[in-house]
Structure 1
Amino acid sequence: MSRKKLATAIACAVFTGAACVSGGGVSAAEVYELNPVLVTAQRSVTKDMETPAAIEVLHADDLQKTGATSVQEALKFSTGIITHGQGPRNISQGTMTSKAVIRGVEKGTLVLVDGVPINQGGRYNLEDIPVESIDRVEVVRGGGAVLYGSEANGGVINIITKGKRANMVKAGFGNYGIQNYAASFQAGKLGFTATYDHTGKIDHISAPTETTSKRSGAPRGLYYNIKRGEHANFNARYDFNDDLYVTHTYGRNSDHYVYKYTGIDNPDNAGKEYKNVIHSTEENLTALHYTKNNFSVNAFYNRRDQETENASAKINKKFPQNFDSSSISHDKTSYLDQTVGINFQNRWNFHKGSFMLGYEFQRDMQDKTINKGTSVTGNFYSRNAHSLFGQVAYDFTQATQANLNFRQTWTEADDAGNKYDKFTPEFVLMHHLDESTMVYGKVGQSFMLPTFTQLYGGGNIVGVPDLKPEKGMHYELGAKKSIGKNAYRVALYSYKIEDFIDADTKDWPEVSYKNSDVKNTGIEIDWTRNQNENLSYRLGLTYSHPQKQEGKIDKHGVETKGEWHDYYGKLGFNAGIDYTRGKLTTAFHISYLGDRTRDASPYASMKAQLFSDINFSYQANDNARFFLNIDNLFNRHDIISTSTSSFYNLGRNFMAGVEYKF
């Protein structure tokens, strides 16, 4: 490619975002392969052109080119995904973690690691999963609860870890106190990866609160600062043989927030600290995986220890703005979430198709302890869930196939006496017009259980023991076509979810939950072009209309539904370009979300958000690679949350460093 053409392409990407993308397409090793193999959508190995779903595959090379240090950061440039944060750059607030919202379903993302679910209490902590341990990420958009169970109302993200690891060390440094370190080693059948990420002091990451809290009495005019954020992760894998391996992941994060006061109602307290909060999470994920021919089994144990320590100023209940910052009270809330489970499945092939049948058992447990001075309260909750799932795949002709997917979910009674029992079917029809063109349609149901936190509360969360489970209907029509170096993907979808479990933040920072209804109709368009092994583009467009109808309970205890209102954003755009010349690889990414509406009364419109990133990677030799990543290239001050509080992204930031393999 001439320098003139290259300059034109980069200018196109940077200044207009038109027809220029990378990050979610195809790695250099697959530059001419527009039909990647994946395992997630059908619970078995298929190719993209044989998969009736909207998918995206992010390989290790793609993740590296985004400059992201975590999966959460990398996904912000994906089609159909809205990244929602309670703070910038991997920072989270205990139970209020970052989210990857697929097709507008806020709590409908199921995250798997090597096929094992890691959601606990509605959280999956993608910000704690470093990219260095990942072989690829498969994203399946659309309600997938039929084959994967609860929490897949929006879609499924399957993170597939690396088998053999490179012997490597990496270090990066940047502004805002950014530090990032990584190392991986392989010794025979054992491989492991260790990472550490640090963010320093950041002021004014949120807008001031607008009202005084009705429950705690906290004054209005509080805003958030960050003192520091730390994330450490260790991932190991041991392969007994080609069929059997064990994985273990240990992660720890610690994020220190300070609530300061603007002085809006009391100038004498302006700039004083109202509260110091340290949120920390320690996580252990252990799984045993076995696959032989068409049979597979996963046994797993997940444990998440979560703790929030508060140091709060003494409140004057009559005049909250007169809080005394010299008189401090301490309290601590701890959660211990544990999940033990097993799933197995087998597929039998016959002349005109195949039959798959599987079973999954999952026991969820939660220990919650609240410590306020000398007062300590504790609660233990548990729930056993069983699922029988399957698929009948039938070939009417060589070109036309149909799938009948089904799942029966039932639970034993929990501590509030709640028992759930639901059958969810899905019917899929696909037709190949030729070897490079296929169309599909599907209709199915989804089902999602309430979490212990939503049912019983804890800390600043008020429990609602009689919350109903979510029930959804999903429809999708799609088309896929590959022509030479181009791949085109289109999906038209519509869904309605009844009894959507919705956070009620009117008394922020206290949160409770209620049942609402949500619906959305939209279209997603993806275009990928692999010009050659040095140049590739990708463009994604989405338009949808997510709406919510909030439930209300009057003074007589009668539940009614309000008016439908918009929330999240309607118009999405993501684009970028990868280009390699000699030893230098340049990757630019951009993601736009417009026509946004705040998910809190009075449902006001919000400024559009625009994420941008440019990454330079210089391969000095076979062993050494130097890199520079610049995030938020246009230095925008965008809101990255949608509810009552406004949390902002980080200003223009960079990280430069070196990676060495030996």
Structure 2
Amino acid sequence: MYGKHRKTLSASVLAVVLGTQIGLATEGSPKQVQEVHNVNVTANRMELLDLDTPASLNVITSQDIKNSGAKNAFDAVNMVPGITSFSYGASGLEFGAMDSRINIRGLERGSLILVNGMPMNLNGKGGLSSVPVESIDHIEVLKGAASTLYGAEALSGVVNVITKLPTKEGGSATVSIGNLGHQNYNVTYGTPRLVVGIERSYHGKQDPSTPIRTDIGHKKGYEYYTAREKGNSLGMFMSGKLSPYWTLNVSHSEVQSAFSQLSTELSAVQQAKHSTTYKYKDYKNNASLVYKNGNTMGTVFYNDRDLKGQNRIHNSTNYKMNDSNYVARQYGVDIQHEWDFRGGKDYLIAGVLGKQETYTTKSGPVYASPHRNSYAIYGNYSYEIKPKWTSIIGLRYTDIKDPVKSQHVLTPQFQLLHTINTESSLYMNVGKAFTMPNLSDTFKTVNKQYQSVSGRNLKPEEGWNYEIGYKHITKKDNWKIALFHMDFKNFFSWKPDSNGKMTVRVNGGRFRNTGIEAEYGRLVSRRAKFTIGASYSNPKQMEIDKHYWKQANPKLQFVGGFHYTSPTWSYGTSLNFVTKRMKNRDGYINPNLVTWNAYVGYQFNESSSLRIDARNLLNRHNVISNGDWEYWDEPFNYQISYTQKF
């Protein structure tokens, strides 16, 4: 049944979105708004219509990002039901090694971040806040275990950012200014062979960005809170067609951020003694060289992160290097080919992957610089049982050369699709996934020297995801419903070393979650569309040496949005509501998260437009972290943007 709906486009960089998602409508002509089907390449490493994809999937277009009021990709992904992120700063801002993360279906650090299909997670961490918005063509969010096709770290799902490709000559420049010190400047220009862009952003001080740490005060004799300091970021990207077969993608980001832990003591001397400012410079690079010829595709990829951190106690004028400093790198090659059988009814996608990950700390004497080599062979076979029934069987074998203990991992997957008619389908998706410990967990400071401290019997975290779903997509409305169950074991934990410090990495924890996700979108008219979505689940975790389960993430989420466009005006609003949350350090339940955004835009002519965004309209102290520590989103803020096309 796939023959008339698919093409052999195995690489994400060659994907083309054909319309809107179950999400906020794409701004444009009424004809564009009526296109309801979209194409993804993430779910099965080939181009498939959403209706033909046996997995839970959301596609977020570049216009959807703007329509939701999102400042970046991190904000946009949070509008997908089932995603409850963890953030230290607004819009996923990372404070040094304190990394914000996308949590899919309640699993901490279970999401694999891809850019154009290539893995971006470094040392077990993958962020989205540093990806320049104007470089994004669309984002594909795949929920469910995905290690069969993508290897380690895709325990609960994959977020694949697809960047823009050269299409036609032209460009745009945008200037944005708002309160809280926000400024943004962006220039993008493209030709049929090359597209380039640069983005410069600034943010101001946010004081406070957490509540007063009363529980800490009892232990230290004083209380403190956290404040975000001024910061800025620089993002650059380029995509170029070197030939009909070769495409080069390159991106670079620089983020300078800082935060302070400020004592609330009345004495200025004591306050300075117990207050500290931490500042960071975070550099990230990503490059991929893609070859595509017929049914064969190959990619050489590289990405790195160089984090530099310093801190200063306020009774001193000097900054000193802190333990956050490190350099992480990843590079490799991925080659795959597709074979078609029975006149295109069946297909086999098979490939090989080889990559190396490295981690080097830059603070203190280095005992070792750990690295990990991974080699994998994978395959995905689709067989048409009957005209309306298709099965897909996948298998991946991964050979991992690890500095502590090498591993051999098999990750199978089985999918079944029943096409009810041209508008509806049912599917089942069962898959196994795994992840390895971070390389930084392998070596810790013991007696001022770096030593290998991980348990020698350390196993990968691994488990299964079970899912059944229903999709109904028409020109006027669409439904998606998914029921899922997750069961993972061997979760990593810590045990004391010979000095009593919790530095030894071991297995022992478990994670379970059962839930339901539902989404509905409807075209109210040729110019307007609304969407709603909800997710209810029961994420729970059992710690090592414990015999009881505790809540691991929020249980209930509602999202929704409305968008209207005309030749001159456009406006819309979006809402993300998260409730039934976890306890914090003070013993209280974290308050409901209510993110309500709105915008209005005016089109002067074909080349120039003005837009006003308002975010956090209720001016809430939204807690954007989960569990013990509270970190707040920004208060009410606005931004005025002018765009000139050329």
Q: TM-score, normalised by structure 2?
A: 0.89
Displacement, 1:340? 0.9
Give the equivalent residue in structure 1 for 2:527. 534
Give the equivalent residue in structure 1 for 2:304. 303
Give the equivalent residue in structure 1 for 2:392. 403
CA separation in 2, counterparts of 1:219 and 1:365? 41
Give the equivalent residue in structure 2 for 1:435. 422
Give the equivalent residue in structure 2 for 1:597. 582
Displacement, 1:188? 5.3
Q: 1:575 to 1:329 in 2, by over 3 A?
A: closer
Matched, 1:239 2:241: yes
More moved, 83-92 vs 536-545 = 83-92
Helix, strand or coil: the match of 1:61? helix
User: Which of 550, 566, 579 is matched with 1:565 structurally?
Assistant: 550
User: Which of 340, 365, 371 is matched with 1:382 structurally?
Assistant: 371
Contact 1:462 1:512 survives alignment (8 Å):
no
Give the equivalent residue in structure 2 for 1:331. 321
Give the equivalent residue in structure 2 for 1:422. 409
Give the equivalent residue in structure 1 for 2:485. 494
User: Which of 442, 452, 472 is matched with 2:439 structurally?
Assistant: 452
Displacement, 1:562? 3.3
Matched, 1:171 2:156: no
Give the equivalent residue in structure 1 for 2:615. 631
CA separation in 2, counterparts of 1:573 and 1:148? 29
More moved, 516-525 vs 238-247 = 238-247
Q: 1:143 to 1:91 in 2, by over 3 A?
A: same
Residue 338 of structure 1 aligns with an amino acid whose one-letter code is R
Residues 119-167 of structure 1 show CA distances to partners (whole Å, capped at 9, x for unaligned) of 1012222011121111111111111111111111111111111113741
Q: 1:492 to 1:22 in 2, by over 3 A?
A: closer
Q: 1:161 to 1:484 in 2, by over 3 A?
A: closer
CA separation in 1, counterparts of 2:83 and 2:560? 13
Give the equivalent residue in structure 2 for 1:254. 256
CA separation in 2, counterparts of 1:472 and 1:603? 31
Contact 2:465 2:484 survives alignment (8 Å):
yes
Contact 2:72 2:91 survives alignment (8 Å):
no
Residue 263 of structure 2 aligns with an amino acid whose one-letter code is Y
User: Which of 361, 364, 383 is matched with 1:368 structurally?
Assistant: 361
Contact 1:114 1:159 survives alignment (8 Å):
yes
Residues 217-246 of structure 1 show CA distances to partners (whole Å, capped at 9, x for unaligned) of 976522211221211100001112343200
Helix, strand or coil: the match of 1:77? coil
User: Which of 612, 624, 637 is matched with 1:653 structurally?
Assistant: 637
Give the equivalent residue in structure 2 for 1:41. 43
Contact 1:208 1:222 survives alignment (8 Å):
yes
Alignment of 1:146-295 (within 5 A): 146-164=148-166, 166-187=170-191, 189-211=193-215, 221-263=223-265, 269-270=270-271, 274-295=275-296
CA separation in 2, counterparts of 1:445 and 1:517? 15
Helix, strand or coil: the match of 1:626? strand
Contact 1:453 1:463 survives alignment (8 Å):
no
Residue 354 of structure 2 aligns with an amino acid whose one-letter code is F
Displacement, 1:69? 2.9
Tell me the matched-pair count: 610
Give the equivalent residue in structure 1 for 2:499. none
Contact 1:567 1:603 survives alignment (8 Å):
no
Helix, strand or coil: the match of 1:569? coil
Give the equivalent residue in structure 2 for 1:321. none
CA separation in 2, counterparts of 1:346 and 1:241? 20
Matched, 1:481 2:469: no
Q: 1:25 to 1:521 in 2, by over 3 A?
A: farther
Q: 1:237 to 1:338 in 2, by over 3 A?
A: same
Contact 1:181 1:196 survives alignment (8 Å):
yes
Give the equivalent residue in structure 2 for 1:316. none
Note the residue ranges of structure 1 that are not aligned, 5 or more in a row: 1-20, 314-324, 505-509, 552-559
Displacement, 1:267? 8.5
Residue 501 of structure 1 aligns with an amino acid whose one-letter code is F
Residue 612 of structure 1 aligns with an amino acid whose one-letter code is W
Helix, strand or coil: the match of 2:487? strand
CA separation in 2, counterparts of 1:463 and 1:80? 37
Displacement, 1:512? 8.4
Residue 453 of structure 1 aligns with an amino acid whose one-letter code is S
CA separation in 1, counterparts of 2:141 and 2:210? 30
Contact 2:131 2:235 survives alignment (8 Å):
yes
Contact 2:559 2:577 survives alignment (8 Å):
yes
- Bigger share in strand: 1
Contact 2:166 2:191 survives alignment (8 Å):
no
Percent pairwise identity: 25
Helix, strand or coil: the match of 2:363? strand
Displacement, 1:59? 0.9
Contact 1:357 1:388 survives alignment (8 Å):
yes
Residue 358 of structure 1 aligns with an amino acid whose one-letter code is G
Displacement, 1:207? 2.3
CA separation in 2, counterparts of 1:127 and 1:485? 33
Give the equivalent residue in structure 1 for 2:112. 110
Residues 420-439 of structure 1 show CA distances to partners (whole Å, capped at 9, x for unaligned) of 11101111111111121110
Q: 1:386 to 1:219 in 2, by over 3 A?
A: farther
Give the equivalent residue in structure 1 for 2:80. 78
Displacement, 1:398? 0.6
CA separation in 2, counterparts of 1:242 and 1:534? 38
Contact 1:630 1:653 survives alignment (8 Å):
yes
Note the residue ranges of structure 2 that are not aligned, 5 or more in a row: 1-20, 496-501
Helix, strand or coil: the match of 1:132? helix
More moved, 181-190 vs 109-118 = 181-190
Give the equivalent residue in structure 2 for 1:10. none
Residue 205 of structure 1 aligns with an amino acid whose one-letter code is S
Displacement, 1:502? 5.6
Displacement, 1:580? 1.4
Helix, strand or coil: the match of 1:380? coil
Q: 1:328 to 1:281 in 2, by over 3 A?
A: closer
Give the equivalent residue in structure 2 for 1:62. 64
User: Which of 510, 518, 522 is matched with 1:525 structurally?
Assistant: 518
Displacement, 1:100? 1.4
Residue 303 of structure 1 aligns with an amino acid whose one-letter code is D
Q: 1:326 to 1:262 in 2, by over 3 A?
A: same
Matched, 1:340 2:349: no
Give the equivalent residue in structure 1 for 2:10. none
Displacement, 1:25? 5.2
CA separation in 2, counterparts of 1:138 and 1:514? 34
CA separation in 2, counterparts of 1:242 and 1:329? 51
Alignment of 1:500-511 (within 5 A): 500-501=491-492
Alpha carbon RMSD of aligned pairs, Å? 2.8
